[in-house]
Every structure is written in C-alpha cells, then in structure tokens.
Amino acid sequence: DIEFDLDPRFLNTKYECLRPTPLKPKYNQSLVELLEVIEHSRELNGEERNALSYRHAIAALKAYPHNIKSYAEARKIIGVGPKIGNHIKEFLTTDTIPEAEEILASEKYQTLDIFSRVYGVGYKTALKWYRKGYKSIRECMRDPYLTHIQRLGLELFNDFQKKMSRQDIQELLGILDTIIKSIYSDCIITPVGGYRRGKEFNGDLDVVVSHPQEEIANNLLKDIVEKLMDTGHLKHKLFYARNKKDTSSELLSSHRNVMDKLDKCFCAFIQPSTQICRQVDLIIAPYSQYSTAVLGWTGSKQFERSLRNYAKKERNMTLTSHGLFLNVIPKRQVHVTSEREIFNILGIPWVEPEMRNC
C-alpha cells in the first residue's frame, strides 16, 4: 500500500469547504479534465445526482497533494467509489478514459454543450433544440417558439462567449464605481464570483453592492439600473428581481440551489473599450446581510454547496446569502459582520477566496 499524507480532517472529507483548493492544481490535471467531461455530460443529460458524485470526486482530486498512482490509493479518497475508481484505473493504464473520449467525440455532446452555454438555456431547452435537429446557434435563432430571453441569449451568444481578462473586469469595475458612487458616495462595491477567486478569465462579472443605510440599500437597485440605462452602459436587463422587504421568515426560505431573494439585476453591459457586450450580475445586499451575501456569491458553486451542507448537518445551522441561523424553534439569527466571523462560528478553518476553487 502506498503511504500518503492526507490530513483526515481537512483533506479527506466529503466537505470541500474544509480544505483549500487552488485554481490550478499541481497534480492529477489531465485525470480531472477527463472526469469533468463525464460530469458535464451527466449534467447535460439531466442526471444531476450522478453529476454531483463526479463533482465530489473531482474536487477531492483537485485538492490532492500528489499524483494518484494506484487504484487502491484512489479508493481511499472519500467520494471515489468503484465506478470512478475504475475510470481512474483506466486512466492509470491507458492515459485516458474511454468513456470521456466517446463523449467528446459524440455530436450530441458537442451540440448540447454549445446550446447550454446560451444565457437562460438549461439542459432541457438544449435537448429540445437538439431533438428538433438544430446543429448551430444560427439554426436555433430560426426556431419560431423562442422566448424573449432565449432570443436575447442567442443574439448575445458571440459576445458572452468571449472571456474577460482581469483588465477587462477592472475597466467595468471602474465604471460601476464611478456611477454607483455618483448616486450615493458611501456605497460599498465588492467584486465576487470567479474574479474574486483569482480566475484569469471570466465569463461574467458578479458584484455585491451595499450601503450602510437600510432604506437606501432597499431602493438601490432601481437607482443604479436607471443610471446605467441613462449613461448607455446597460444594453439589456437579462433578469431583474426586486423582492419585498420582509421579516426574518423570508430570509430563511431560500433553499439549497435556489436563487436567494436579494435584489438583483443581470445586465448585458457594453464595455466601452471593446464595444463587447458583457454579462454583469449586480446583487444588492442590505448592510446586515452584506457578509453572507459576499460569501454566498464568491463561490465556487461546489464550495457554497458544501458550506451550507456543513452548517446544516454538522452545526444544526442554516447558511444563506441572507444570514446565518440557528435551527432551533423558533429559528434564531446569528449576527455576523465578516466572512471570517462566519467561518469562526461554523468552526471551519479560514479559506482564502483564491482557495475556494473546488
């Protein structure tokens, strides 16, 4: 048996949030890439449970401190069962995974992969278009039954496919900063999502905006969006939601994987220097929910999922973008003011945003 130095508390766990995961893991890269193909194909087939078990195994491999050398070693990792273990065995002997190769070569996968990248299109719509025989974005655009948002997504496809460098994002942040602070100078503007996790190239920009005065924060979305329209930066509103300001019962109702109830606008935003349309997701958080909103929107999705699961199963708490709650009757909110405080209360070692890339 091969010896390896997994710290059982922080490495070999089913909770990704307990261990640091860098953006570019040093080990097991090509294995991870092949497993990601299978995972994505499960997702495109609507096999969410199965996709999730691949995601757990992939996350564990990304954090693993050296290259896997044997089936036995792989199977010692929590999340690597016989199925995925066998794929790893295939990889160790052939340098590839036959199923992943088949998926990559299949026209169905290639087509669904493209369609599912369209804004507002999930696997179900992608599959519907595929079954109608469409092979390209151009053909989808001729579909007579498109919703408004699907048409918009298809029209914006080329622009949205272009990744943003960190410099592109800084340009957008500069504009947002100027415009938002011209409305209220003490707004707090925090870039989150992949950019905050250190990604070199990003598909969109996610920003959490807050203001110390509750009343101002409550109406901030409308003010910002109006100004962005007036200045000509905002081309289309892809998604716009303002939610009733209510008591704590509302704050608890966001479930796992369901969008939170923070005010938000997903914008198609013109980048001045390139004239490319960029997706900018604006999320408004009341000051009292600021730290949980920033934590919740920093990601990765898998990191968030594991945090919420950990809070629930190991601490009897509920963590959402709106706050941290004790699951006693009646539920009680735990007042938090920073990400670090949330990690402390949950008893999770601090993980830098750059290490939340599971």
Q: Which residues bind Mg ion (CB under 5 A)?
A: 193-194, 204, 206
Written as six digits, the tokens of 278 are: 């960029």
Closest separation between CB of residue 12 and ligand DCP, Å?
Answer: 24
Question: To which residue do tokens 């200045």 refer?
Answer: 231
Closest separation between CB of residue 257 and ligand DCP, Å?
Answer: 6
Cβ proximity to ligand DCP: between 72 and 259 the closer is 259
The rounded distance, in Å, linking the Cα atoms of 198 and 159 is 22
Q: Is 95 annotated as a binding residue?
A: no
Q: Is 281 annotated as a binding residue?
A: yes
Closest separation between CB of residue 231 and ligand DCP, Å?
Answer: 24
CA 17 to chain centre: 14
The rounded distance, in Å, linking the Cα atoms of 83 and 122 is 27
DSSP 254-323: PPTTS---SEEEEEEEE-TTT--EEEEEEEEEEGGGHHHHHHHHH--HHHHHHHHHHHHHHHSEEEETTE
Choose the contact partner of 73 out of ligand DCP, Mg ion, none; CB within 5 to 8 A by kind: none
Through-space distance between the first and last CA atoms of the chain, rounded to whole angstroms: 27
Strands 234-241, 204-211: parallel, antiparallel or unpaired by DSSP?
A: unpaired
Strands 204-211, 188-191: parallel, antiparallel or unpaired by DSSP?
A: antiparallel
Closest separation between CB of residue 36 and ligand DCP, Å?
Answer: 14
Cβ proximity to Mg ion: between 152 and 169 the closer is 169
DSSP 165: P
Choose the contact partner of 299 out of ligand DCP, Mg ion, none; CB within 5 to 8 A by kind: ligand DCP
Closest separation between CB of residue 301 and ligand DCP, Å?
Answer: 5
Q: What is the H or E stretch that residue 204 is in?
A: strand 204-211
Which residue number has the CB closest to ligand DCP? 299
Task: Name the residues that contact ligand DCP, by CB under 6 A.
Answer: 193-194, 199, 202-204, 206, 259, 297, 299-301, 304
Choose the contact partner of 72 out of Mg ion, ligand DCP, none; CB within 5 to 8 A by kind: none
Q: 3-class SS at 50?
A: helix
Cβ proximity to ligand DCP: between 87 and 199 the closer is 199
Cβ proximity to ligand DCP: between 138 and 301 the closer is 301
Choose the contact partner of 297 out of Mg ion, ligand DCP, none; CB within 5 to 8 A by kind: ligand DCP
Choose the contact partner of 12 out of Mg ion, ligand DCP, none; CB within 5 to 8 A by kind: none
For CA atoms 10, 15, 20, 23, give the dihedral sign: positive
Closest separation between CB of residue 199 and ligand DCP, Å?
Answer: 6
Cβ proximity to Mg ion: between 20 and 194 the closer is 194
Cβ proximity to ligand DCP: between 125 and 321 the closer is 321
Nearest of 305, 303, 217, 196 to residue 264 by alpha carbon = 217
Q: Is 204 annotated as a binding residue?
A: yes
The rounded distance, in Å, linking the Cα atoms of 53 and 304 is 16
Closest separation between CB of residue 240 and ligand DCP, Å?
Answer: 16
CB hemisphere CA count around 22 (13 angstroms): 8
Cβ proximity to ligand DCP: between 85 and 194 the closer is 194
Choose the contact partner of 300 out of ligand DCP, Mg ion, none; CB within 5 to 8 A by kind: ligand DCP
Cβ proximity to Mg ion: between 15 and 160 the closer is 160
Written as six digits, the tokens of 122 are: 């999930």
Which residue number has the CB closest to Mg ion? 193
Written as six digits, the tokens of 131 are: 């079954």
Closest separation between CB of residue 298 and ligand DCP, Å?
Answer: 6
Question: To which residue do tokens 């273990």 refer?
Answer: 85
Which amino acids are annotated as binding site for Mg(2+), given as ranges?
A: 204, 206, 281
Q: Which residues are annotated as a binding site?
A: 204, 206, 281
